[in-house]
């Protein structure tokens, strides 16, 4: 299921709205220097921010996401680990200290930690002790680079630099009375505080900080989850959305106009879904009214001879009577691309064009074909390039040269060999399809 479909489901269900662990020796408050050098080519992690009021259920939401993403490398980074150590003077008036204020956190340290994780480095993170109000009395927690990093905390959306790190932002929205009841149970059991102290701190700092600093960050959330960890439908849909994002080819993260579908022969059908349409009602022969869609403009196909002709039948099966033009380009190695023949509809400039070529290798033939269409007056955004197998080199060439066209493919292979053939690929596609392969 695509990310748009998941978002629609989330909006429609359960009140949800889109709007490595290792102990080390004691340490100083600074994060230990990494033992490995920065690798700029490392795969960027999917960073999820989970914010909300204290005791809203953020930890439960994080635990459920981690549990369902069991086949992915996932680490949790808590904002609580980055509280400033209290000074001796502040310790004497600890009950007057506002732990829910943005200034209570060492955001600079958090940013340094995240920068190292994003560059493939393991980091050692402190664990704050709410009894001594220090983060240098516990052993370090080793956090390794992972596919998914979950940032959790009450004010994790407050600093725009931290927000910019996130691929997805979740706000856990829970009733204030429920949060207060949970806070009383937690602080008395885990932090050794009495009820009177908890209520006094809540009335002095927690409630006002929520209204002033935490609640305003709700507007930055991509997803808002009512009832927190009790909303299992929301968690399931979020995890499905994350899995979809993690399954994207790395090149899709670089080029938003590249679409890699699951290995299938339905490239043409998928490609048609990217064309603009308008809603239309038709009356069936039985008199029933059917609500469907109608393409905004006329279409035509253009096949790059000869392998592109293998995709024409699939296009005609989807679009009866569609006009199909032809382009013949002489290919010789990595250079020597020469336009030999073209026959295109006279009104092609007024149509959306489905360019057909099953193999995208060096990208030079595609550049020639697209350049010809642009010369004929076809807007770049009206060109949809359909192919079955692509090489990364060709994707880079076409996407950089023509950022407004869309490419739909079903497989991105390893690269090109010395003869500029896609590897592992399938040899010369035209020969294999038309039965002219000497082998």
Task: Tell me the per-residue pLDDT of 395-412, one tens digit each, with 9 for 90 and over.
Answer: 999 999 999 999 998 888
Q: How does residue 221 score in pLDDT terms, banded at 50, 70 and 90?
A: very high
Confidence of residue 296 (pLDDT cuts 50, 70, 90): low
Give backbone dihedrals phi and psi of 426, rounded to 5 degrees, phi first. Answer: -150, 30
> What local confidence, expressed as pLDDT, does residue 12 receive?
41
* Pick from 258, 359, 263, 351: nearest CA to 303: 359
85 DSSP assignment: P
Q: What is the arithmetic mean of pLDDT over 342-346?
A: 91
What is the pLDDT, as a whole number, of residue 90? 83
Residues 18-50 have pLDDT tens digits of: 333 333 333 434 444 433 344 444 567 889 999
Region 92-114: mean pLDDT is 91
Q: What is the mean pLDDT of residues 334-342?
A: 72
Q: Cis peptide leading into 267, omega within 30 of 0? A: no
Ranked by mean pLDDT, the top range of 170-179, 252-261, 270-279, 288-297 is 170-179
Sign of the torsion angle spanned by Cα atoms 357, 361, 367, 368: negative
Candidate from 235-239, 328-332, 378-382 with smallest mean pLDDT = 328-332
Alpha-carbon gap, residue 264 to 353, rounded angstroms: 22
Average confidence (pLDDT) over 372-388: 92
Considering only 176-185, 206-215, 324-333, which range has the smallest mean pLDDT?
324-333
The candidate with the shortest Cα–Cα distance to 210, out of 234, 245, 177, is: 177
pLDDT at residue number 2: 46
Q: How confident is the model at residue 358 (pLDDT cuts 50, 70, 90)?
A: confident
Q: Please compute the mean of the pLDDT values over residues 104-130 and round it to a whole number.
A: 89
Domain ranges of the chain: 44-245, 248-432
- pLDDT for res 135: 66
Q: What is the mean pLDDT of residues 191-198?
A: 82
- CA 285-288-290 angle, to 5 degrees, is 100
Question: What value does the mean pLDDT take over residues 345-367?
Answer: 90
CATH classification code of 44-245: 3.40.50.300
Mean pLDDT, residues 234-241 taken together: 88
CA-to-CA separations, 123 to 30, 79, 106, 166, 312, in angstroms, rounded: 11, 15, 16, 19, 54
Mean pLDDT of 229-248: 83
pLDDT of residue 11: 41
Q: What per-residue confidence (pLDDT) applies to 380?
A: 92
Strands (E), 333-405: 335-343, 352-356, 359-360, 383-386, 389-390
Q: Do domains 44-245 and 248-432 have the same CATH topology?
A: yes
Say if strands 383-386 and 422-423 run parallel, antiparallel, or are unpaired. Answer: unpaired
Higher pLDDT, 122 or 431: 122
**How confident is the model at residue 314, as a pLDDT?**
85
Residue 304: Cβ within 10 Å count: 25
Residue 38 has a pLDDT of 40
Query: How does the average pLDDT of the chain come out, rounded?
Result: 81
pLDDT of residue 139: 67
Please tell me which of 101-105, 297-301, 390-394 the model is most confident about, judged by mean pLDDT.
101-105
Asked whether the predicted pLDDT for residue 86 surpasses 90, the reply is no
Mean pLDDT, range 277-297, rounded to an integer: 72
Using alpha carbons, select from 128, 25, 27 the residue that is nearest to residue 86. 128
Report pLDDT for 26. 37
**What's the CA angle centered on 99, arms 166 and 229, to 5 degrees?**
50
What's the topology of domain 248-432?
Rossmann fold (3.40.50)
Please report, rounded to a whole number, the percentage of residues in the chain having pLDDT higher than 70.
81
What is the token pair recorded at 167? Answer: 């691929």
Tokens of 403: 């950022």
């Amino acid at each position: 299921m695509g990310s748009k479909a998941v978002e629609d489901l989330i909006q429609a269900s359960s009140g949800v709205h889109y709007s490595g662990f290792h102990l080390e020796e004691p340490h100083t408050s600074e994060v230990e220097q990494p033992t490995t050098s920065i690798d700029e080519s490392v795969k960027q992690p999917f960073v999820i921010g989970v914010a909300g009021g204290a005791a809203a259920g953020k930890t439960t939401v994080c635990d459920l996401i981690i549990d369902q993403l069991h086949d992915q490398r996932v680490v949790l980074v808590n904002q609580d680990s980055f509280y400033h150590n209290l000074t001796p003077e502040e310790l004497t008036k600890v009950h007057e200290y506002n732990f829910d204020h943005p200034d209570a956190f060492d955001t600079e340290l958090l940013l340094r930690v995240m920068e190292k994780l994003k560059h493939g480095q393991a980091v050692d993170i402190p664990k704050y002790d709410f009894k001594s109000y220090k983060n240098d009395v516990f052993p370090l927690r080793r956090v390794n680079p992972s596919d998914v990093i979950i940032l959790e905390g009450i004010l994790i959306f407050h600093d725009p630099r931290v927000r910019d790190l996130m691929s997805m932002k979740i706000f856990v929205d829970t009733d204030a009375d429920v949060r207060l009841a949970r806070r009383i149970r937690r602080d008395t059991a885990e932090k050794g505080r009495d009820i009177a102290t908890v209520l006094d701190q809540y009335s002095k700092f927690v409630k006002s900080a929520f209204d002033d600093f935490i609640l305003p960050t709700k507007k930055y959330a991509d997803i808002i989850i009512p009832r927190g960890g009790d909303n299992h439908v929301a968690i399931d849909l979020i995890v499905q959305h994350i899995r979809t994002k993690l399954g994207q080819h790395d090149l899709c993260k670089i080029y938003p106009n590249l679409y890699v579908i699951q290995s299938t022969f339905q490239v043409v059908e998928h490609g048609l879904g990217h064309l603009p349409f308008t809603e239309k009602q038709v009356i069936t022969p039985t008199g029933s009214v059917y609500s469907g869609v109608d393409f905004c403009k006329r279409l035509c196909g253009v096949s790059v001879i000869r392998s592109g002709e293998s995709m024409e039948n699939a296009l005609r099966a989807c679009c009866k009577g569609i006009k199909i033009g032809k382009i013949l380009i002489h290919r010789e190695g990595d250079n020597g691309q020469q336009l030999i023949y073209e026959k295109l509809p006279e009104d092609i400039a007024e149509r959306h064009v489905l360019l057909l070529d099953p193999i995208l290798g060096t990208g030079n033939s595609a550049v020639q074909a697209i350049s010809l269409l642009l010369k004929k007056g076809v807007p770049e955004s009206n060109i949809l390039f359909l192919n079955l197998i692509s090489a990364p080199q060709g994707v880079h060439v076409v996407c950089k040269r023509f950022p407004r066209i869309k490419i739909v493919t079903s497989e991105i292979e390893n690269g090109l060999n010395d003869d500029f053939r896609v590897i592992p690929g399938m040899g010369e596609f035209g020969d294999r399809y038309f039965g002219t392969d000497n082998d």
